[in-house]
Amino acid sequence: MTLFKSNQAKELDRYRKLMEPPDHFEDGFNWRTIIGAIFLGFIMMPGSMYLALVVGTGGSIAAASQWVTIILFAEVARRSLKDLKMQEVYILYYMAGLAIASPFQGLLWNQYFVQSDYAIAMGIAQEVPNWYAPSAELIKETGRTFFTRGWMAPIALTSIALIITYIDSFGMGYVMYRITSDVEELPFPMAPVGASGITALVETGESRDPWRWNCFSIGGMIGILYGSVYIALPAITGSILPKPLMLIPIPFIDFTSAIGHILPATPMNLTLDFGLILTGMVLPFWAVIGGGLAVLGLMTANPILYRHGILSNWQLGMDVIDTTYVNSIDFYLSFGIGLTVAVALVSLAQVVKPIIRALRPNQPTRELTHAELGDRRPGGLQRLIRNNVKRGDFSIFIAVGIYIFSSTAWISIASFLIDGFPWKFFVFYAIFYTPVISYACAKLEGTAGQALNIPMVREATFILSGYHGVKIWFAPISLPNYGPASVGFRVLELTGTKVISLVKTQLVTIPVIIVASLVFSQLFWKMAEVPSDAYPFAQLMWDLQAKTMCLTMSSTMEGGSLFFEALKLKWFASGLGFGVGLFTLLSILGLPTLVLFGIVRGLGQGTPAGITFEVIGALLGRFYFRRKFGDMWLKYTPVLLAGYACGMGLVAMVGMSIAILNKMMAPLIF
């Protein structure tokens, strides 16, 4: 038992030491990054938006396009005989992340939803508030344009929400980073992916580490070759032909209907993305294995649950989406919530005692010499509140103040817009729920590189509050989870960039994002109806999303609620008991508890789509490449993955540019 725990601790420590922060920290914001903001807003953002509408992979390629930006600016600087500093490259990377998340692309969904036949038939579209979208009649009257009086309120509300969100990025997420990184010293296995890629791109001449650049180049070539077929081909052909040509199915191959006789009620699909193999090599081995065990468990349990009448809504012939949806209603929604709560509880139980012990001053068992006293490390509380001046830290009390401001702003806006808004619930969440789930998620990010969340809390709150009508569902309020933000601050540290750089970056980037996002949303809507044959992914998936959204909203209207039918206490208790019991068993046997976090992730995905190749990558990395290259393999894989993302991004942006040009020139030609 002690051996397994010792090995797990060594593995986490090994990931922590994959990349050490530099001794020198600098401000990465300057005139070059200002040019970068304009480039990102008007070049990279439209490509990402178009990709999301056409092939639905805007989210995954969004990260890749960050590497495109870096490599372009780095090469331009080298041609000018001026290399970019690591801090400048990181700010470009961070800025790209801001720019590719288009805030006004949501308006395209809003206009579709209020005109959706299903929403109109259910009587929901007629109750959509005018600060969400104009009525369907007004949209048809004014045509496909956002530059009308009816869209002024939605645009203003989106802009205000964007500003509050960016201010909030320095709040609770920063507190979680200081706790999990500075006090607990968790490894954050995904942080070196971004940081290593940045390091590889800024190293030049004699300072360049050959293995780092070689790994990045190999990953980049793999990404270019695979992305040419997987992303660029569908994007380009989709702008010329009625339907895009896909040699590799996007987003997955669905086997559910074909194997329904053998494995009833079992969603079965496969995502053919080579990057998943590299991801499996980067993540901690036992976390990936836990995800694989969860998928195998689903394949075994679902037929049994179906034969016992628990998965009763499944019917032969259903595809993977419908199967996953009805299984969630019958069982997995309740079970998954219980299991997630269990993980949150065991995560807290794991670290509360060590944190309390760490926060106490160290009590020596003997009298220490003067030299030993000087070498003693400060306690956890001191590390938490003491700012690292070299790193550019700011007080966690300021971060807590930012969190209080943002929470108050969201609740106040929602209460102003909606009469009878259940603000007391959200005050409770802001005080208790959000900090707890954010810490549990940061813990999981720090150990397994994965996020953690409890689903349906917002929905359950609206239903249980007793509110009648659908207006509350459009409230500009959410239950944020700040755990993933801790990874970003860790990457910031690994690249030697001061926090003040992010503040300056946001001040410049926000106006560019607002203008560019609105302009290109208008452009895509003018080019063709959204959704339509011109945007195949949106046409395929938005109808299902609208039906699911209406189904949830109907729970606060007259009649019964499917949510109440799906939320079953006995299955919730089963998930809670399973999670706590499995963690206890693993602890007693001394087995890696990272397996539990992986199981939660696997059940959250619900299908073998991506986990299959992740497991293959984990096994190859552990039992072949690691034996061949030794511990250096752990340093190779983050750089390989970063290079792969860069290669995919380069190809995707070229494909999107050609597609957009074809669409814009078509009216001139014909």
Q: Which of 632, 509, 645 is CA-nearest to residue 201?
A: 645
On whether residue 370 sits in a domain, the answer given is no
Higher pLDDT, 568 or 604: 568
Tokens of 548: 């699911």
Please give the Cα distance from 20 to 29 (Å, whole number).
Answer: 22
Query: How many Cβ atoms sit within 10 Å of the Cβ of residue 246?
Result: 15
Per-chain mean pLDDT for the chain? 79
Compute CA 580 distance to the chain's CA centroid, rounded to the nearest angstrom: 26
CA-CA distances (angstroms) from residue 105 to 58, 102, 110, 385, 514? 12, 6, 9, 40, 11
Check residue 113 and give its pLDDT. 92
Q: Closest Cα to residue 359, out of 385, 379, 383?
A: 379
Confidence at 453, pLDDT banded by 50, 70, 90: low
Lowest pLDDT segment from 169-173, 430-434, 437-441, 519-523: 437-441
Asked if residue 368 is part of any domain, the answer here is: no
Query: Is residue 236 scored above 80 in pLDDT?
Result: yes
Render the burial of 307-329: b for 16+ CB within 10 Å, e for the rest: eeebbebbeeebebbbbbbbbbb
More confident residue, 557 or 315: 315
pTM of the model: 0.71
**pLDDT tens-digit series, residues 279-328:** 888 887 888 888 888 888 888 999 999 999 999 889 998 888 788 878 87
- The predicted pLDDT at position 370 comes to 42
pLDDT of residue 264: 92
145-175 tens-digit pLDDT? 999 999 999 999 999 998 998 899 898 989 8
Q: Is residue 25 part of a domain?
A: yes
If pLDDT is split at 50, 70 and 90, which confidence band does 452 have? Answer: low
Q: Rounded to whole angstroms, how far apart are CA atoms 91 and 505?
A: 7
pLDDT at 630: 85
> Can you give the pLDDT at residue 560?
56
The answer to whether position 166 is within a domain reads yes
DSSP 229: I
The whole-angstrom separation of Cα 450 and Cα 604 is: 11
The DSSP element (H or E) to which 326 belongs, if any, is helix 320-327
Rounded average pLDDT over 600-620: 80
- Give the integer Cα–Cα distance in Å for 104 and 99: 11
d(CA 176, CA 63): 23
Q: CA-CA distance, 325 to 314, in Å (whole number)?
A: 9
What is the rounded CA–CA span in Å between residue 449 and residue 232?
29
Per the structure, how many domains does the chain have?
Answer: 1
Residue 56's pLDDT is what? Answer: 65
- Residues 6+ away with beta carbon under 8 Å from 571: 331, 334, 335, 338
**3-state SS track over 410-424:** HHHHHHHHCCCCCHH
Does residue 636 surpass a pLDDT of 80?
yes
Task: Report CA-CA distances (Å) from 311 to 326, 331, 413, 568.
Answer: 8, 7, 41, 13
Q: What b/e sequence results for 534-560 when a residue is b if at least 16 CB atoms lie within 10 Å of its CB, and e otherwise? A: bbbbbbeebeeebeebbbbbbbbeeee
Confidence of residue 415 (pLDDT cuts 50, 70, 90): very high
The reply to whether 670 falls in a domain is no
3-state secondary structure of 497: strand
pLDDT category, 376, cuts 50, 70, 90? very low
Tens digits of residue pLDDT in 53-104: 766 654 445 555 666 677 777 777 777 767 778 888 888 878 877 777 777 7
Say how many C-beta atoms besides its own lie within 10 A of residue 14's C-beta: 14
State mean pLDDT over 449-461. 70
pLDDT for res 450: 62
Per-residue pLDDT tens for 461-501? 887 788 888 889 998 887 888 888 888 888 888 888 888 88
Residue 608 lies in a domain: yes
Q: What gap in Å lies between CA 288 and CA 580, rounded to an integer?
A: 20
Full residue range of the structural domain in which residue 472 is found? 2-361+375-664
Q: Give Rg (Cα) of the chain.
A: 25
Q: Which residues pair with 254 in a beta bridge?
A: 269
Phi-psi region for residue 143, left (φ > 0), alpha (ψ -120 to 50) or beta? Answer: left
pLDDT for residue 404: 94
User: Strand ranges (DSSP E) for 2-57?
Assistant: none
pLDDT over threshold 90, residue 529:
no
Higher confidence at residue 415 or residue 366? Answer: 415
Contact by Cβ (8 Å): 67, 646: yes
In angstroms, what CA-CA distances link 293 with 76, 400, 453, 574, 621? Answer: 47, 39, 20, 18, 18
Place of tokens 């419908």: 322
What pLDDT, on the 0 to 100 scale, is given for residue 554? 78
- Beta carbons within 10 angstroms of residue 72's beta carbon: 17
Determine which helix (DSSP H) or strand (DSSP E) holds 650, and give its type and residue range: helix 632-669
- pLDDT at residue number 363: 47
Q: What angle do CA 274, 278, 281 make, to 5 degrees?
A: 145
Q: What percent of the chain lies above the pLDDT cut of 90?
A: 11
Cα separation of 58 and 48, whole Å? 5
If you average pLDDT over residues 248-259, what whole number do you get?
83
Q: What is the pLDDT of residue 506?
A: 85
Asked whether residue 222 carries a pLDDT value surpassing 70, the answer given is: yes
Confidence of residue 372 (pLDDT cuts 50, 70, 90): very low
What pairs with residue 269 in β-bridges? Answer: 254
Instruction: Say if CB 8 and CB 593 are below 8 A apart.
Output: yes
Report the pLDDT averaged over residues 242-251.
Answer: 78
pLDDT at 353: 54
Q: How far apart are CA 344 and CA 436, in angstroms?
A: 8
pLDDT at residue 187 tops 90: no
Specify the higher pLDDT residue, 386 or 150: 150
200: CB partners within 8 A, 6+ apart: 209, 212, 213, 215, 216, 639, 642, 643
Q: Is residue 669 part of a domain?
A: no
What pLDDT, on the 0 to 100 scale, is given for residue 389? 74
Residue 367 domain flag: no
Whether omega for the bond prior to residue 192 falls within 30 degrees of 0, making it cis, is no
Q: Left (φ > 0), alpha (ψ -120 to 50) or beta: where does 607 sit?
A: beta
**How confident is the model at residue 154, as a pLDDT?**
93
Q: Is there a contact between 191 and 490 (Cβ–Cβ < 8 Å)?
A: yes
